[in-house]
Every structure is written in C-alpha cells, then in structure tokens.
Structure 1
Amino acid sequence: MNLIDIFIKRSKLVFYSVLLLLLITIDVSAQESQNDTITLKVENVVDKIRGGLLGEILGNLNGLPHEMKYIKEPGNVKNYVPSLPEGAWTDDDTDFEWVYICEMQKQRDVFLQPTQICSLWEERINKRIWCSNRFARYLMDIGIEPPLTGKSIFNPWASFNISGQFLCETFALIAPGMPQTASKIGLNYTTVTINNEPAQTTQLFSTMIAQAFVTDNINDIIDFGVAAIDENSELNGIINDVKSWYSEYPNNWRKTRQLLHEKYTQEDNNIRDFNGHELNTGAIIAALLYGNGDFSESLKLAFNFGWDADCNAATVGTILGVIHGYRNMISRNSHAHQDWMIVDRYKNITRDNMPMNETITSYADRIIELFEMVNSINGGEKVLDNNRMVYKIIPEHPTPVVELADLEKQKQIIKIELEEQIKKDLQSTDRKSRARAAYYAVCLDMDKSIKSKYPDKWEQASYDLSGYWKLMSSVFFFRYTEFNDFRQFRQKFIEAGFKGPKKEYEDDELYNDMEIWKEPERLY
C-alpha cells in the first residue's frame, strides 16, 4: 500500500469518526431538547386553569364588601366561606380581561394591536371604570393609543396604579409553566394604563401564577416571581421586608400589617396609597405567606390586610386556585360538603356588546383554547403518552421582560418622537388631531413655545381640546384626586390657560352620555 492509499484510508477513518461523533452529539442534543419539557396531564392543566379563574372571581366578588374599607387599620373578618350562591357577575377585576380573551379567541392572536385595543375599549369598555383605566379610556377619545395611554407623562395615575396587578391574572392562566410568555401577554394589556413600577407587578404576579402550575410551594412561587422583576425595582424591598417580618412574627399578621403600613404609606393614606402598588403588593405577599396554602384563610387575610382588598384577594385567589384546582374547590359544593355554594354563572352587567350570560366554565374554556394555541406556537404539544393525554410544555426561566425606565429620559424620547406630529396635527382640519396636539404639548412642556410660534393654531387647538368634556373633567375633577402627581399634572393645564368644567360629573353622567365632544361654551 503506497502513501497515497494510506492517507486516503486514514482520511476516511477520521471522516467517519467525526461523522459518528457528530451524529451522536446531534442525537444527544435532540434527546436533551426533547427531555427539556414539562409534561403535565391534560386533565390537570384544565383543572388548574378553571381553578385559577374561579379563585380569581371568588377573591374579587367576595372581596368587594371589604374594598377600600381598611386603610389605617386592618379588617377584622373572622369567618369566611367562599361562595357565589347567585353565580358570578362582571367586575373590573375580571371583565377587562374577559373582553380581551374573547377577542383573542376570535382573532387567534394573544397580542392584539393598539388600534384593536382602542376599538375594543370604545365599543365595550365605557362604564364602571375608574382611576387609570378611566383616564386611559378618555385619552382614546382624542386618538391617543396604547402604550402612550399608560405613560405617566400623559396619565397621572400610571406611575402607581394597581392595574398592573389586577388586570394580569387571567392572562397568566394562558401560559402555564411559561412565565416570560405570561409576562409578555400581560404587559401587552396592562401597559394600556400603567408603566414602570406597576409594570413590574405584572411580571411579578404573572410569573407567580404561571409557576403555580408546576409547584405548590408558596415560598418557591414568590421567589420565581422576584426573579421576574427588575433588580432595581422597589418591589424587591417590599417583598424582602414582608418575608422578614413574617419570619420574625410568624403568628402575628397584624404586626406585619402595621409595619407595612408604617413603612410604605406614601401620602397620608389617600388614594395614592390604597390604590398604589406598594401596600397592595405587600398585602398579597403577606396573605400568601400567612395563609400557608389554605384557600379560605389566605383570602380572609387578603380582606383583612385591606386597602384595595378585592383586587388583592383576586390575585391571591388565582394563585391558590391554580394550586388547588377546580375539582377540589367545587367538591366543597357537593351534597356531602355544602359549605361552599358555587353557581356556575358569569353574568354580564358591565360590558357593552359582550355575551350576556357567560358561565365560569365557558370563560375558562376560552382560556384553555388560547393556552393550547400559545403552547403550540412556543413549541409544545398535546400528545398521547402511556395511554394518557398530556401537554408537553417548553419551560421558560423567570426573567424580567421589561426593565425600569428613567422617566425623564423617556419623556425626552417621546418628545422628540412626537414633535413633528404635534406640529402637523396643529395644522390639521380634524378636530381630534388638533385636540391631541394641544394635549401632547401641555404634557410635554411644549405649549408655551407652540403658543408663541402658532398663536392662532394654538387657540383653535385649545378650544378643541376643551370640548372633550370627559377627558377635561378627568384632568380637573375626579374622586380622590388629591395626590401629588395629580396636582402637578393639573397645574400644567391651569398654567396653559385651561380650566375645569363648571361641575364635576357623576359617574352615571360620564357612562351614559355618549356625546364625546361638546361646545365649550356649554361646559365652562
């Protein structure tokens, strides 16, 4: 055998050795990828989604009698039995999500676009809306779309409001074991009305709910949630404090409540506090820790911690509802155990152009359908495994999807992005566009320069904005408006020459009068 033959033979040997090694590596990698899934029985996931929704509804509706009742001092609820003897009904803790869920199902898309979101609000969300949600709704009247409706530059509630918490739970049920997906879906909708720290609560609670499908350990669930928030978020300090107080006073939740109130009250117990994310986040974490996994006890604690108690109980109820599951919860409603009374009804009393008589289970079925769609998109599947139907879910590690923003830098970026549009809208023949230009200009501190440069155009735009009576009423009047951010926001409009309407409108007037714009002479 000559040298060339030897070389060829050795080359072939090396080639086949490398090829074999490569094939083994590929096979091992494929096996690892295949094994890198969460396998959950279909019946269990369905049960937990239904349980999470039922828990959310119970916390919300059973918590309404305690909403905003216990501010300086905790409540004293001693006995609590979860019940819906006449079934459930729509309330803002669950019906915003319901509107979105139905449209997601119709569009086969969990990430609705800003124009779609605005259309849904204009068609369906016009009453029983408060605080940041109401403000965002009336910003839509002048053509401002999400996420700008949820920027604190334009919406004075957005920097603290708890919509980041109570509008995210149902979306997290779409993403069992997928915390990043849960956060992304939630943020697509909560940032319609909030930003920054409240957006961190969306990530916190969405992740906790998503992880409750794979573990029932409350401490682990909380730790997973913490891993999903920005390391600079003030939520870290709140949660660490509550955990520390719980360790120090494991049998005295009232002491923890006292310490939470003393440290995290922001503005002398006004709406900035009981509608803010700080105290309410702390209350949820504390209720979960002291409740130790017991559904009824945990919700009772959420009521007693107070502040926005129904919202907090809804979040607690979602997490524990996922852990316990629908079958376990509804078994308390049997002939043998009649201590819980649950009627399967979800009656629409709040949302226009929506089904009038949904049931809790049919609402849950919508969520289940969306989960299967999302799971498939993310690479998971529904398969037969050892004679049982299971979901294969590609797991995700909890991590922040959005980080905290520097609000002043954010303002400057938005100002640069909108400057040309503002000038263009001032020249428009469209009233809404001119009104929007005036609103943007005041919020971005551009009104003085624009008024100086375009006095006639500014006068017309100001007149147009003044006619959007619901928005201007929200700028100047709203129940519990005396918090610092709102006072500063309102002062900008006063200095720009605007004034409030002659009267503060009642809720029913705002909800039932469909006339969006009125002649300012009638209003001022």
Structure 2
Amino acid sequence: MKHLFPCTLLFAAMWLMEACSPGTAGTNHPCIPETYTISKDSLLDKIKGGWAGQAIGCTYGGPTEFKYCGTMIQDYVPIEWYDGYIKWWYDNVPGLYDDVYMDLTFVDVFDRLGLDAPADSFAMAFATAEYPLWHANQAARYNILQGIMPPASGHWMNNPHACDLDYQIEADYAGLMSPGMPNAASGIADKIGHIMTYGDGWYGGVYVGAMYSLAFLSDDIGFIVKEALKTIPQESQFYQCMSDVIRWHQQYPDDWKQTWFECEKKWSTDIGCPEGVFVPYNIDATINSAYILIGLLYGEGDFYKTMDISTRCGQDSDCNPASAAGILGTILGYNRIPDQWKRSLKEVEDRNFAYTDISLNKAYQLSFGQALQMIEKNGGTVEGDLVTIQCQQPVAVQYEKAFEGMYPTGKRGINKKITDIQELEFNGNGVVIRGNVNASDEEYVAEVELYIDGQLAETAQLPASFAKRRYELFWKYRLTEGKHTIAFKWLNPQQGVSIQISEMLVYNARK
C-alpha cells in the first residue's frame, strides 16, 4: 500500500487537472472550469432555450395554478396540450405570463440604462408599469409609490410578503444574462430581488438565477442544483429545505411523490404571507422552489417529465414548471427542445407579451446582447464567433432571516366596516389587519390613523385603486409581547365609500 499511495495521489491530481481544465461547449465537467469557451450561436441557442422553456412551462401548468394547494395533482388528472395552445393563452389569458413580463421589465431597464442601472430605476419601472400585481410585488409597488425605496421596499418589516415567491418566478433573466457566472447573477438579484423580497423569499430568486447560470456549463442536473445551492447561506431555512430535497432524491430516486410527501411534512408551513397562514394555500418561496427542484431531479433531463412533475407538485403550478423547464431549456438549448412543444411557441414568438413591447424573439436578442456585455464586464472575452467566459465558483450571499421571533398563533374573522369598530384586542407581539377600500372613484385615497394601546402607530394612505392598493391595510411586528388594543380613526370619510376589515392575524414571540 505504501508503494501504491503516491501513484493514487498522482492519478487523482491528474484527474482533477483534467476535470477542472478550461472547458468548451459540448464538454461536461464534474466541476466548474476556470474558463469556458462557447460559440456565439451556441450561447444564443441556450439563451433562447431558457426563455422558450419558461414560456412553455408556464403555459403547460397554467390551467392548474393554485387549484391544488397542499395536495399533488394525481396521475389520472389530464393536463392538456395541443398545437395552437400557447396562442390560445396569448389571445384569451395574457396575464398568465406575469412571471415572463415581470422579467422583461428588468431586461428593458438594462437595455435602456445599461448594466450599471441603479436599483431605483428598476423599482420605478416596476412600480409604474400597467400590469396588475399581487403579494410581495404589490406590497413593494405600494411602498415605492409611497417613497419607500429598495431595499426597504422588500424588507419584511415593510412587506408582509417578503418570503413569498415573487422574485423567484421573475429571476430567470439574471441567470440568462450571466452565463457561467452565478455570483454575477447574485449581484443582480441583490439589486433587484430586494425590491420586493427578503430572506428566504430573496433566496428563491438567487437560487433560480444561479441554476440558470450554471446550466450553460453542464448538462449534469445533480451537479447544477448542488453547485447553485452554494450561493445560499447554509444556516437559512431555504438552504436546508433544498438540501433535504437533494438528499430525499438520493434516498427515493424513483419516487418523486415520496419526496413531495417529505417536503409537505417538514417544509410546508407558511408564517409570513397573511393569506397563506393556517390554510393549504402556500405561496412561500421555499416550498415552491422545492417543487422546481423535484421536477428537475426526477425529470432526469426529459423536457416533458420535468414540466409535468413540477406542475403536479401543486401550489404555484405554472411558475414552478416555468422555471424548471427554463433551466432545462438552457441546458438543452432551443434546438434540442422537442418540436411538439415548440410548434405552438413559434406561432407567438413575434408577438409582444401583454403590457410590454417585447416579444420572445426580441427577448432572445436582448438577453444575448446583455450576456455578452456581462461576460466582458466580468473578465471574459468576445472574439469573432467565440466567447470565453471567466467562470465563477459560487459564493454564498449574505444571511438574512425574515419574521424572526414572529410565530402566527391565531387568525380571527372581523368582517365589519371600520366605522363599526370601536376597538380590537389581541395578545401577542405582532398583528396584521386585512381588508379593502371600496369606492367608485379610483382616485380616492383613504387616510386612516392606526392606534395601538392608545398611541398613534401610523397614518396610512389607503388607495381605492386596485393597481395602487395597499395589500394589507395595517401591520405591526416586534411589539412588546402581551395584551394590546387597536383603534382606527378615518380622517377623510366620503359618502359612498367604505373600508372593510376582513380579518386579523396575530403573532407571538414563541410557537
């Protein structure tokens, strides 16, 4: 053995040198090479594959979105597809593609203002766009329009939806413009993802961006998902959940449903989104990212299986297969996506997405141009038809934890007009008040003072406009643990206008 040991070391060293040597397109390395050379045509093909996969996956899962909450979609439930199917959605339900046209808002800002565009430019483009928003995106839009700019607009103290999946579903562009450079994608996520998310909500977008980025370098899905996870702090819940999925896949390699069950048992609790607490509905980034991962791992590189499994995990079952199919589409490249899926896509590639002047064909070219700029900015070269990427070893982003010391302990239906409420009582360290402003005049903005324990806590501006609405009427976290009272004072009531209080969610410092 003493004689064999030096030879073994020499062999291992030679293997590592070969494995980590400069890469070229078409090779598959078990580690990230220092540089990677790819032709412009191949780079564009992969970028097109990413966008195409996202659009196809979103369409495939569209009819099931949030219809299966806390349950999988059983095998006997048909999910249809036919030629012309994507065109039908473009014509009849263009809002389905919110995760695509949200991406394109950011792509457009990069195109107009360059790679160094400030966070405020992205925030204002997003906040003033015509499309409707929900959850973390809408909470951030309200904040921005009220002068609360990023990163404060996405922080959980200002945004009860900070851990929702909003940036996860719109982070694809960051990886597509950062081929082989996951840390560059993370840098983009830091600037843009914090517009609407924080902590585990932000990590969903960081992880998706990193997987897209590494999909340019390897077709080994297991390698991609593990390497991309290095961008996430190990102490985070998000990291722990993704690690569990990878481990369960190894334990149950032929049974995605068992891994789904394990996820539900351990990771399906939502403590942030007021709409999702205590109910099967779950828009949390962590569990929905797990469904992306389940689709990728158990899909085994098959485009249909990847989409189908991710869809059948339920919850946000259009956005999750969109990301899974987009990542796989980047691995495969546009030309290797099966024709049965591309036939419908080709009918709409020149059509602009709703609320934008950008089509898929234009998105392909914009992302390609931005990728070339990012490659050169990060030390790579573009010479003739060849592009050499200075690859990056994934580095963990900063650790963030939202809703620390906040545990939901009760949700009480109120269902009264604000004028009929003298006082509300609760026992805890935090509260969220849900409701809405009803007015025929979309320009009307209610001004309401919130009093906690007799002290003015805030004067809230509550727009009647759906586009500008405050997603929750009021919330306060990190109060002193104990009994509290809430009272309201409506400063500018008008005839024909009402403010309805629907429910109150209460938090405590301990589970």
TM-score, normalised by the number of residues in structure 2: 0.71
* Paired letter, 2:488: F
> Identity of aligned pairs, percent?
21
Q: Deviations over 1:290-330 (max 9, x none)?
A: 11011111100011011111111111011100011111226
**Cross-structure match for 2:98:** 92
**Cross-structure match for 1:152:** 156
Q: Deviations over 1:478-497 (max 9, x none)?
A: xxxxxxxx7969999x9564
Structure 1 CA distance, aligned partners of 2:240 and 2:68?
23
Structure 1 CA distance, aligned partners of 2:351 and 2:478?
38
Equivalent positions of 1:190-269 (< 5 A) are 190-266=193-269
**Cross-structure match for 1:371:** 371
| Secondary structure of 1:474 counterpart | coil
* Paired letter, 1:397: Q
**Cross-structure match for 1:510:** none
Residue pair 2:34, 2:392 contacting (<8 A) in 1 also: no
Q: Deviations over 1:438-478 (max 9, x none)?
A: 99x99xx9994xx5xxxxxx9xx83xx3454457752239x
Alpha carbons of structure 1 residues 446 and 141: separation in structure 2 relative to 1, 3 Å: farther
**Cross-structure match for 1:402:** 398
Shift of 1:206: 1.2
| Secondary structure of 2:253 counterpart | coil
Structure 1 CA distance, aligned partners of 2:480 and 2:60?
39
Residue pair 2:140, 2:159 contacting (<8 A) in 1 also: yes
**Cross-structure match for 2:30:** none
Shift of 1:402: 2.5
Structure 2 CA distance, aligned partners of 1:249 and 1:161?
28
- Does structure 1 residue 120 correspond to structure 2 residue 125? yes
Alpha carbons of structure 1 residues 447 and 348: separation in structure 2 relative to 1, 3 Å: farther
Alpha carbons of structure 1 residues 406 and 130: separation in structure 2 relative to 1, 3 Å: closer
| Secondary structure of 2:187 counterpart | helix
Shift of 1:331: 4.4
| Secondary structure of 1:475 counterpart | coil
1:321 to 305, 318, 329: 329
1:64 to 62, 65, 68: 62
Q: Deviations over 1:23-56 (max 9, x none)?
A: xxxxxxxx99xx9421111111100000000001
* Paired letter, 1:115: D
1:306 to 301, 309, 314: 314
| Secondary structure of 1:68 counterpart | coil
Return 239-248 or 342-351, whichever deviates more: 342-351
Structure 1 CA distance, aligned partners of 2:480 and 2:488?
9
Number of aligned residues: 410
**Cross-structure match for 1:11:** none
Shift of 1:237: 2.2
Residue pair 2:204, 2:286 contacting (<8 A) in 1 also: no
| Secondary structure of 2:387 counterpart | strand
Structure 2 CA distance, aligned partners of 1:144 and 1:82?
45
Residue pair 1:59, 1:315 contacting (<8 A) in 2 also: yes
Alpha carbons of structure 1 residues 83 and 57: separation in structure 2 relative to 1, 3 Å: farther
Q: Deviations over 1:329-365 (max 9, x none)?
A: 264578xxx6x664233645642xx32xx43121111
Structure 1 CA distance, aligned partners of 2:194 and 2:182?
17
Structure 2 CA distance, aligned partners of 1:495 and 1:346?
57
Q: Deviations over 1:185-207 (max 9, x none)?
A: 12322211110112222222211
Structure 1 CA distance, aligned partners of 2:128 and 2:470?
21
- Does structure 1 residue 286 correspond to structure 2 residue 286? no
Gaps of 5+ in 1: 1-30, 410-434, 452-457, 478-485, 502-517
Gaps of 5+ in 2: 1-20, 23-32, 406-444, 500-511
**Cross-structure match for 1:102:** 108
Shift of 1:114: 3.6
| Secondary structure of 1:309 counterpart | coil
Alpha carbons of structure 1 residues 103 and 398: separation in structure 2 relative to 1, 3 Å: same
- Does structure 1 residue 475 correspond to structure 2 residue 481? no
Structure with more of its chain in strand, by fraction: 2
* Paired letter, 1:315: S
Alpha carbons of structure 1 residues 94 and 85: separation in structure 2 relative to 1, 3 Å: same
Residue pair 2:66, 2:317 contacting (<8 A) in 1 also: yes
Work out which of the two has the higher radius of gyration on C-alpha atoms and give 1 or 2. 1
TM-score, normalised by the number of residues in structure 1: 0.70
Question: What CA RMSD, in Å, does the superposition of the two structures yield over aligned residues?
Answer: 3.6
Structure with more of its chain in helix, by fraction: 1
* Paired letter, 2:324: V
| Secondary structure of 2:488 counterpart | coil
